[in-house]
Structure 1
Amino acid sequence: MDASLLREREAFLRRAKALPVVEKPRAVSNAVNDLGPPPTKRIASSVPSDLRSAELRPALQGKFAVLSSVVKYMKQRHLERDTHPLTVEEILEEARLHDTPQSTIRWLEEEVGLIVVTKE
């Protein structure tokens, strides 16, 4: 760089450091309006936890939930540099998606294009 530019830069930095910094305090008024409505209390469910977990299974959530689980699993495999080929059934087994309906498995193979690798 040009020597004059370096001198100007150094002078600018010295002037900038010499200036006091004043931060504007935050306004406290209308704090209730800024927070939005008050949070509602959660009511304890009378449904046992094992039944609630059944509601969260991917088979009950739909095809895209299964696809999302498969994608997350395959991403993790890729990051761990695990590259050996798997069949769709093996992917679902390793991703712990044992209760996946046969129609969803066919959908993964045909519509989504999840490649089925045959072992020789």
Structure 2
Amino acid sequence: MFLVGQDNLKDVLDYIGEKLRNPETGDVVSTEYRWIQERFACLSSGLAYIHEQGVLHQDIKPSNIIHRDDRVYFTDFSSYSRFTLGQTTSTESPARTSLMHGAPEVVHSVLADGSLQRH
């Protein structure tokens, strides 16, 4: 078995962040920005396809997006759920969030089971 991805998006963004902090390499960052911009359409169409199949990933974050050459992949579908297009809204079940990646105002409302407290 071999690995599908070379890096995940979190590592790529961390790498760009390090370059931005270094004035000597700051101008090189445009190459990485271009790489991300070119992959955004692929990520968008991939997410649209996943949704067309009735799958909600529910844990999309930079560390769950990997790439190999020009291809990008969503990984870690352990939190996914199924839905029917047009019949599901975000209010039908309690929302879930990641403490590491959630907005501060949302993270403060997280219950012990990971669901969000409703106001």
TM-score, normalising length from structure 1?
0.27
More helix by share: 1
More strand by share: 2
TM-score, normalising length from structure 2?
0.27
Instruction: Identify the structure with bigger relative contact order (alpha carbons < 8 Å, sequence gap 6+).
Output: 2
Q: Which has the larger radius of gyration?
A: 1
